[in-house]
Amino acid sequence: MDTKGRLVAGSHNRNEFVLINADEVGRVTSVKELSGQICQICGDEIEITVDGEPFVACNECAFPICRPCYEYERREGNQACPQCKTRFKRIKGSPRVDGDEDEEGFDDLDHEFDLANGHGGSEVGLSSRHNIGRGAYNGSGFATPSEVDAAALNPEIPLLTYGQEDDGISADKHALIIPPFMNRAKRVHPMPFSDTASSVSLPPRPMDPKKDLAVYGYGTVAWKDRMEEWRRRQNDKLQMVKHQGDGGGGQNDGDVDDPDMPKMDEGRQPLSRKLPISSSKINPYRMVILIRMAILGLFFHYRILHPVNDAYALWLISVICEIWFAVSWIFDQFPKWFPIERETYLDRLSLRYEKEGKPSELAPVDVFVSTVDPMKEPPLITANTVLSILAVDYPVDKVACYVSDDGAAMLTFEALSETSEFARKWVPFCKKFNIEPRAPEWYFAEKVDYLKDKVHPSFVRERRAMKREYEEFKIRINGLVTMAQKVPEEGWTMQDGTPWPGNDVRDHPGMIQVFLGNNGVHDIEGNELPRLVYVSREKRPGFDHHKKAGAMNALIRVSAVISNAPYMLNVDCDHYINNSKALREAMCFMMDPTSGKKICYVQFPQRFDGIDRHDRYSNRNVVFFDINMKGLDGIQGPIYVGTGCVFRRQALYGYDAPTKKKPPGKTCNCLPKWLLCCCSSKKKKAKGKSKEKLTKSKKSKDTSIQIHALENIEEGIEGIDSEKSSLMPQIKFEKKFGQSPVFIAATLLEDGGVPPGATSASLLKEAIHVISCGYEDKTEWGKEVGWIYGSVTEDILTGFKMHCHGWRSVYCIPKRAAFKGSAPINLSDRLHQVLRWALGSVEILLSRHCPIWYGYGCGLKPLERFSYINSVVYPLTSVPLLAYCTLPAVCLLTGKFIVPEISNYASILFMLMFLSIAVTSILEIQWGGVGIDDLWRNEQFWVIGGVSAHLFALVQGLLKVLAGVNTNFTVTSKGGDDGEFSELYLFKWTTLLIPPLTLLIINIIGVIVGISDAISNGYESWGPLFGRLFFAIWVILHLYPFLKGMMGKQNNVPTILIVWSILLASIFSLLWVRINPFLDHGGIVLEVCGLDCD
């Protein structure tokens, strides 16, 4: 697809297609066609079976081995796959060897090689592969006797081995046997001949009586000598590779690039491994959890059987809250039962998929960057993210970056144009000196010794020049931002005078601009650059565009048309690649032949820049990313958190995960014969039904593949219009994916790549078509395909659906953080971010996709379901948490308490309860690698967010679902330039700040009143006061970051916030005075003083 450097805009529904001139050159080309597989042992091409599929010897890793080598390894070798070391299973048509399992319904030893009865189909296909080519070959694979006579053997011509003449092998050592009624092809197995074979004369073959007769079958001396010679040569090469650093050299130095050389033993090893938590850490942790559950049972037994009669309402509220806290703790705790860590081997990845002198075999990756409002998401931040992607340590022809501008902003487009120009200088500088990170803003801001490990003499000079170039680039971007703040009345116009198509944000056509790409603009050193594509989907009034989830689905479709990489990475515009090898880290899991096929995505933890050292508002969220996610990784994988995630494209298309075939059941011979007969008859019926279903599914799959063959993507499907039954699969595909034949064809390419036969015109047309606003109507987009709609937190819902399809995910924590982003630094923005997350959870809780009742009987594991339930019900905790944080003030003001007079048993129980909580936290810190300050900050913000953002989210979610009142999505600001931590204590007006401040004031008032009451009543009142004070101080300590922020910047606190908080606290205090003042309601008690007044 060649855009000639022009912006492509258009609308499929309005039949508009416009090319707008620009000053950049961009081009997208098709991916090369995949070549056939080559046997890694003998170098021959792997044959195609009669089903049209390549021969697969190992069902575990699909290591490419041809049929003859597979037979030889089973008969003469170690009977195991050279790559994954898994024992070969017997394939139908292969002779048995020692150790094969008995499989019911699979073997037919009496007629397996009886070609007359049609049981030799696989061998016929195999023999056709080795056909020498003399004589006619009819459709059934048999040759008539006349054909055999016509192609009679000439003893003067040496026979062929592997279809080629080998002068080094004498004629008497060849193993070519041509049975009657067969073409001249090499047989894999000895054939039982019929009696009619005697009428066909075959030339005699010289036989040496000293040799074994098996020599003259398949597997002769020549074959064995050849295999042994090959093994010896490979061992020599392996030893040479292992000792190539010894400086010995030798004559074999030039053989390293031998095309016949297979993957070395190191390259056959797994690309990653699990690192279970040490048993000395995890076993005590599990024991403490079980002990804590037992203590919880005893605690609730005591609490329920010992009510407080004079404060029954307070006691009942407290017990209900505590039960809810215990249930939520169980949902949060048990998914941490099997925590694991993982380790990747990047050297093995390179050894396996990147060979010297050959093109890289690493899988292509499409990277998605989403942005909406350039005023809240500064273009300079987005530009740094794009630059870090373009400079990633990955083959340039395997990377494509797609930037989604959902605000259709001219500022974003112009900033991206400037970024593509600066990338021509930045990318070669990064790769030449191997710098980290590759986002220039953070690279030049690092306060480290940038000369460390740098030995290139020109590094200092070029670094200074590059820093100057970047500063000029920043000036140009800042100039664009300043200019964009004054919008002309007639709207923006482009350089050639054409009006900007996105002047109306809510009504504009779809736009695509390819800035960089294959065979397009090169860097200053003449090297290719990764693709950079600007995408703004069409928007029209009256359509639901589904916010970020809709934008991501548009990127899925347009990337499938242009590049169609099998894997996709999505990042927010403020999350740059901090580790240039992040994509390789993900490929260690995705491309692992043993376990990669079932992985739907690889999630990386979120790390942040620009946060104060104390992380007052728990922006880093370390407890979740370093404890909870490690626990989920040991079950079915972490949940998707919205950014820093590498997806398998097929998983996002709504397909089920591949399943392993279960081994056939075995029947015990000791059972009665009549029972065996009943069981066998039932099994046969069940197998018959399953076979029928399997054949039907295969037929439908084959027809769908034939229907969507890509010779005819221009105007639809050819050659099948006359058959309505053949059109049914196409209609199903259109209902699922939409009416784009190019996109539907791309979905069938599991390994990615642009469909063959596609032209630039058709790709341009389809790219605009798939981002049109009405494309998703009456399809499964947002329901079963792509990012799922129905919640502002589309990430949780999307990951949940994939796990329900049987996929598993992986959590990858590299030593150097893979991605870093910007976090909202002030409390108001932080609370709005938490509000959005909690609102999304409430929407999922009240939808049909709620994990409490959705997805049973599928691939979701029970503990994984526990985690998803916890992720959607946690906003409900805001109600009991708000009530529980109010109870201390009520107890201090009323003189009541939620616990009766404590006995020795009760005091021991309470001490054990607090001790178990402390020990659990300490052990979590130990195996999770989290600091105690991070744990405490997380606990504090759980209370602050719970009584404010979670509560508002619960109310808004109920209004949205029950009353249809919609809430707007608020984009959190992405960084600022006001100085380091300048906004840390800034309080912006928001109603979210009222509940925590009110709780803080009433608890402080309660403490003052309680202490004053104890002072006035004497020493005996201090004992009962201790429990109430402890309760209230617990709440105040959790709200301490909120209080410190207020006290640190009093001049920045809005007056209305202080007025509202004092007003609510005063009302609550007056109610207490009215209900239960210090004085008794019975009036003043008069007593006789004992003095005689007379």
Q: Is 793 left (phi over 0), alpha (psi -120 to 50) or beta?
A: beta
Which candidate, 916, 555, 942, places its Cα nearest to that of 771? Answer: 555
- Say which residues have a Cβ less than 8 Å from residue 102's Cβ, sequence separation at least 6: none
Residues in the chain: 1094
Cα dihedral 704→705→709→715 (10° resolution): 20
- The CA-based angle 457-460-461, given to 5 degrees, is 90
d(CA 1003, CA 1033): 8
d(CA 645, CA 807): 15
Could you check whether the bond before residue 437 is cis, i.e. omega within 30 degrees of 0? yes
**Parallel, antiparallel, or unpaired for β 599-603 and 808-811?**
parallel
72: amino acid identity, one letter: Y
d(CA 809, CA 815): 20
The residue whose two tokens read 């804590």 is 292
699: amino acid identity, one letter: K
Q: Is 1084 left (phi over 0), alpha (psi -120 to 50) or beta?
A: beta
753: amino acid identity, one letter: G
- Of 2, 406, 592, 829, which residue is the catalytic one? 406
- Burial (Cβ within 10 Å: 0-12, 13-18, ≥19) of residue 614: exposed
d(CA 606, CA 820): 6
221, 143 Cβ separation under 8 angstroms:
no
Q: For 814-817, which contacts have Cβ atoms below 8 Å and span 24 or more sequence positions?
A: 814/344, 814/579, 814/581, 814/582, 814/585, 814/604, 816/436, 816/578, 816/579, 817/578, 817/579, 817/605, 817/607
Tokens of 908: 């021991």
- Burial (Cβ within 10 Å: 0-12, 13-18, ≥19) of residue 687: middle
- Of 405, 609, 633, 795, which residue is the catalytic one? 795
3-state secondary structure of 265: helix
Annotated active-site residue 406? The verdict is: yes
DSSP for 732-754, please give it. Answer: HHHHHH-S-HHHHHHHT-TT--P
Number of Cβ atoms within 10 Å of the Cβ of 190:
13
d(CA 113, CA 94): 10
3-state secondary structure of 761: helix
Which candidate, 203, 147, 145, places its Cα nearest to that of 174? Answer: 203
d(CA 535, CA 404): 5
799, 867 Cβ separation under 8 angstroms:
no
**Rounded CA Rg of the chain:** 36
Cα dihedral 335→339→345→348 (10° resolution): -70
The residue whose two tokens read 């093994």 is 231
Annotated active-site residue 609? The verdict is: no
Query: Which amino acids are annotated catalytic?
Result: 406, 795
